[in-house]
Amino acid sequence: MALLWDIGLEPALSVRSVNDALEASLDHTIASAQLEARLLIGNEALQDVPVQIVNKQWSPREFFEVKIAEAKARYLQHNATEYNLEPNIKTAPGGLRDIHIIGWVTKRYFRVGKLYDLVQQNFLTEKEFDELNFAEGYLWQIRHYLHVLTGRNENKLLFDYQREIAQLMGYETQPDDQPNAAVERFMRDYYRCAMQISTLSEMLTNHYYETIIEPQLPDDERPKKQPINARFNQVGDQIAMAHHRVFAQHPDAS
């Protein structure tokens, strides 16, 4: 551990007994970290204990609700938009934390270790996984250069760093370009990735709620369904398709 500190890395760590871990997991942020736990060295009989503790302390519904509430509060800190001029690539809407949310809520239920395992559970399609994987890699690359340039754990893509990071990521100014064209191309690609992550995160967490959480709710807690027309229903405070082929049959449906 001292070696990591010596080279400038600051790992978050704690040492707990099983009983201490049980108590600590009542904090959903610690529970999220326990879902990511993996054995490096030590007693192999204990390697599954962190996940077992989370499963004991949190029902799928409780864990889903607290993580979604956390996400909504986080969005408000960033004006609930993916298009901030100086975005935080970790916590802003469409940032890395949105991918983590997908992983955490689904790992609590499916008990999988990697995001790709959700493809094998038929929760993610191959296309959705590829899109998330590419977007995550793009944001990790930006984050790497931010840390290198600043020499610290910096996640906010300030104007001061955008031009240099654009260059490091291969965005070159062409002879007929305007002065800021390379930076604008870089930020346009960032916003495209952020919107892609945000859209998939919302879609997949809604899908999780509808397929995993909602069927287990008592009848009086389930969202009420009311037909709007032949193609759409109102379900709670949302609009849903009446069947999965609505847009295939009627591309202009409204």
Least confident stretch, 98-112, 119-133, 229-243: 229-243
**DSSP class of 238:** E
Percent of the chain with pLDDT over 90: 60
pLDDT of residue 192: 96
The pTM of the full predicted model, rounded to 2 decimals, is 0.85
Contacts from 85-89 at CB under 8 Å and sequence distance 24+? 85/159, 86/156, 86/157, 86/158, 86/159, 87/156, 87/157, 87/190, 87/194, 88/155, 88/156, 88/157, 89/139, 89/142, 89/143, 89/146, 89/155, 89/156, 89/157, 89/190
Q: How confident is the model at residue 254 (pLDDT cuts 50, 70, 90)?
A: low
Name the residue with tokens 């930006």: 142
Determine the average pLDDT of the residues in 113-120: 88
Q: Are 87 and 78 in contact (CB under 8 A)?
A: yes
Determine the average pLDDT of the residues in 205-218: 89
Q: How confident is the model at residue 250 (pLDDT cuts 50, 70, 90)?
A: confident
Higher local confidence (pLDDT), 219 or 78: 78
Other Cβ atoms within 10 Å of 82 Cβ, number:
23
Is pLDDT above 90 for 9?
Answer: no
Least confident stretch, 101-105, 195-199, 215-219, 250-254: 250-254
Is pLDDT above 80 for 11?
Answer: no
Is pLDDT above 90 for 234?
Answer: no
pLDDT of residue 210: 87
- Domains annotated for the chain, with CATH where assigned, are 1-57 (no CATH), 59-222 (1.20.120.330), 224-254 (no CATH)
Least confident stretch, 7-11, 30-34, 146-150, 245-249: 7-11
Percent of the chain with pLDDT over 70: 99
Determine the average pLDDT of the residues in 208-216: 89
Determine the average pLDDT of the residues in 151-155: 90
pLDDT of residue 239: 82
Is pLDDT above 80 for 7?
Answer: no
